[in-house]
Structure 1
Amino acid sequence: MADTEKPLLIKRYASRRLYNTETSDYVTLEDIAGFIRDGREVQIVDLKSGDDLTRQYLLQIVAEHESRGESMLPINVLNDLVRSYTTQATSVVPQFLAASFEMFRDSQSKWAESMSQMNPMAKIPAFEAMQAQQEAFLKAVTSGIPAKWPVSDKPAPEDDEEEDLDAIKKQLAALQKKLSRMEK
């Protein structure tokens, strides 16, 4: 049985083929993406040099998904990322992104938990904090000065945003009713 606590070791041969050391077979980038989606960490190393190639391959997976129209990164975010490589914010960006995704994962877990309790009006946890953190990030990247997170002086939500949230809540309630009927 594979030890899922340790990263899955993938070796890249000189032929550029990727070899799964746990299952002793060759894998593709899509296979690696599947391992990651299943919650598995991976480490990709060059067999000959021992260099860690994980970052390079993960970026390649993201680029392939983006090029196939599975766009998850808006143009303005990509522009901000490129811009951050040439500003003083370079040292802040990795910590911000890691914290943002950690908050996102926590929020997803809490949302799934509230959905399992069939509470359609449950407020999505940490949404406001994520929004404040995003605003602070954009402010830090554009000014080159690290900001304090979370930002507490954000403007009050507009009526349109409240109407959108109400519409989403109604759609969520309707979906839950459908799911309840399907379970019976």
Structure 2
Amino acid sequence: MQSKKVAEPKVTQRIIKKYPNRRLYDTDTSSYITLAQVKRLVMDSEPFVVMDVKTGEDLTRSILLQIILEEESNDSPMFTAPVLASVIRFYGHAMQGFMGGYLEKNMQQLMDVQAKFAEQSKGLSPEMWTQFMALQSPVLQSMLGGKLEQSKNLFEQMQEQMQKQTGQMLGAFGIKR
């Protein structure tokens, strides 16, 4: 008896080529696109990768950072100067390796909360949603405050763990802190 293999659907990601003239070419639509259109791909959760035509280097992070920079230049930036300064301070710090995962986990938690709100508010018009959010601001702040407290505790635990591991490693070499 011969068994048939069922072909699993292959998740394909869109390839966007970046040319030396700084133009972006979407191979899916066979057309040049703008950063605003790349932002739309992100908003639509469309998987993509940006590749340098000459070197083949993956430039996706660089393009995403450009989009963030443009957004931050608009009227209502998301990051304050102190937050950005704090992020910069983590570069070269022992905690740098943990920071990316920490931020990613917290962003996922925030997106989960957002998805729950969206699911529960499907019947609300934009005006009703605005009124609801104005009334719920203290509740929302309280809920997010709880997530922030969890996040702070997780961060402190990671920091303590690193200090213990560093102490153990230094102790193994006969160095006391």
Tell me the number of residue pairs that the alignment of Structure 1 and Structure 2 aligns: 142
**One-letter code of the match for 1:135?**
K
3-state DSSP of counterpart to 1:116:
coil
Q: For 1:30-49, what aligned pairs fall within 5 Å after superposition?
A: 30-49=36-55
1:90 aligns with 2:96: yes
Contact 2:102-2:155 within 8 A present in 1 as well:
no
3-state DSSP of counterpart to 2:37:
helix
- CA positional deviation for 1:131: 1.3
Q: Which runs of 4+ in 1 moved over 4 A?
A: 120-126, 137-140
- CA positional deviation for 1:79: 1.3
Q: For 1:158-173, what aligned pairs fall within 5 Å after superposition?
A: none
- Aligned counterpart, 1:166: none
1:145 aligns with 2:159: yes
Larger radius of gyration: 2
- Aligned counterpart, 1:11: 17
1:65 aligns with 2:71: yes
TM-score, normalization by structure 1: 0.65
Q: 1:107 aligns with which of 113, 124, 144?
A: 113
1:127 aligns with 2:144: yes
- Aligned counterpart, 1:80: 86
Deviations 1:145-173 (A, max 9, x none): 257xxxxxxxxxxxxxxxxxxxxxxxxxx
- CA positional deviation for 1:34: 1.2
Unpaired runs of at least 5, structure 2: 1-8, 125-131, 162-177
3-state DSSP of counterpart to 1:15:
coil
**Whole-angstrom CA distance in 2 between matches of 1:24 and 1:90:** 39
Unpaired runs of at least 5, structure 1: 148-184
